[in-house]
Amino acid sequence: MTLMELLPSLTHSLPPRTDPKLWPDVSDRQLAWIAATFGTPTYVLDENTVRDQCRRFRQALPHARIAYASKALTCRAVLRWVQEEGLSLDVCSAGELAVARSIGFPAERILLHGNAKAPEDLKAAQSYGVGRVVVDSLHELDLLTDQKVLLRVTPGIAADTHPALATGDNGQKFGLGEADLEEAVARIGARPDLTLEGLHCHIGSQIRHVATYEQAARRMVALIARIRTPIRELDLGGGFGVPYTSDEPDFDLTGYVDRITRAIGYECARHRIPVPELTIEPGRAIVARAGITLYRVISVKHPFVAVDGGMSDNARPALYQARYQPRLLRGGPTAPMTLVGRHCEAGDVLATDIPLPRDVHPGDVVAVPVTGAYHHSLASNYNQVGRPALIGVRNGLTKVLVRAETEEDLLRRDVG
């Protein structure tokens, strides 16, 4: 069977690339080749885009610590790229740390945090000698020895985002309230083996308003002044908004840097305390735009276009109604349609009311942009479907970063 027979869309002229803020510099013909060669669904990740985003954050904040939030996308290749670009690393589990250890990521540049760290997570972190542990509960202090720590605080900031993505307001499972913060500081002060390096907060994800970060920064400096303990580091977390559709704005990183640094400097002067070293934790902002997911159309029942993937490789629409702007790798007069997945759930819908060619048919390839973050990480085996391959792209060359999961992989764990 020829390549043209495997991929009917190649016989049509490819449409011009749309909105560059959503798409990395990977040609449609290369995407079509990847779909024909590696099958679908397949994740594609552009290395240059990841590295460019790392450099963008480092150039914007040259004196800050930039820690890649690996929960967005954890694999050896990506962690190697961010290490080579000089970033630190934020991990949330022994598993994420194991990936970092496997490539020799410098332990002193790693932070471990999470709201419910298992003893195994803390043991792994201390065994490797991670630079800092972000403490999220008083109980964690009893499980740590000889460790530099940050205390995660709930700053009481209501971020303008989906409720499932808001983590900084009161009533959340994350962080310490003010009473627990004071007790934590006292306990650390009584422990010569623990060193309080700083305070940490994270107000949520997909935050677009710089003013929200400024409000959090001012509140955190006030807390530093209140606890009257020397603090060397202030970690403001991440959550920088990323556009998933053309009508969504990009995050104003320049405005963020200006307002945050001015606010911290002013508040520290007002409270007469030293300016702490700043840490931020971009994750989605590093890898989201670098990713494209490729699907093949399986069936068409207007207005529904069903593809060979769905909520097992992209859980975000089902979790919090995430929006996307997919397109076919060929042109033609369009009509609004709904892109649905293969899984046995009415909620397995990837995108609604999107323009697709009226003559869309089985075998066509659909490309979904901005899928580098929280797609590979959240992938599951629902309906015993194997997780897709992750294919790296750089300057026209391709490389398998994570191979596709097979039925043998699924059965290997089933020992019953």
pLDDT tens string 368-411 = 999 999 999 999 999 999 999 999 999 999 999 999 999 999 99
Within 10 A of 164 (CB to CB), how many other CB atoms are there?
Answer: 12
* Domain regions of the chain by residue span: 3-39+290-412, 47-287
pLDDT band of 175, cuts 50, 70, 90: confident
Q: Which residues are catalytic?
A: 344
* Domain 3-39+290-412 and domain 47-287 have a common topology: no
Tokens 């450099």 correspond to 55
The class (CATH top level) of 3-39+290-412 is: mainly beta
Tell me how far apart the alpha carbons of residues 205 and 167 are, in angstroms, rounded to a whole number. Answer: 8
pLDDT in tens, 208-240: 889 999 999 999 999 999 998 899 999 999 999
Instruction: Name which of 152-161, 314-323, 368-377 the model is least confident about.
Output: 152-161
In this predicted structure, the answer to whether residue 261 has a pLDDT above a threshold of 70 is yes
Q: What residues have CB less than 8 Å from 301, skipping those under 6 apart? A: none
* Angle of CA points 330, 331, 334, to nearest 5°: 125
pLDDT band of 1, cuts 50, 70, 90: very low
Domain 47-287 has CATH 3.40.50.300: no
- Cut 0.85: pTM above it: yes
* Secondary structure letter of residue 153 according to DSSP: B
Q: What is the pLDDT of residue 115?
A: 87
Average confidence (pLDDT) over 178-190: 92
* Angle of CA points 202, 208, 212, to nearest 5°: 55
pLDDT in tens, 264-308: 999 999 999 999 999 999 999 999 999 999 999 999 999 999 999
Tokens 């899984």 correspond to 343
Q: How far is CA 133 from CA 91, 114, 221, 223, in A?
A: 10, 9, 20, 19
Within 10 A of 414 (CB to CB), how many other CB atoms are there?
Answer: 7
pLDDT in tens, 121-153: 999 999 999 999 999 999 999 999 999 999 999
Instruction: Name which of 180-184, 324-328, 400-404 the model is least confident about.
Output: 180-184
Q: What is the pLDDT of residue 3?
A: 44
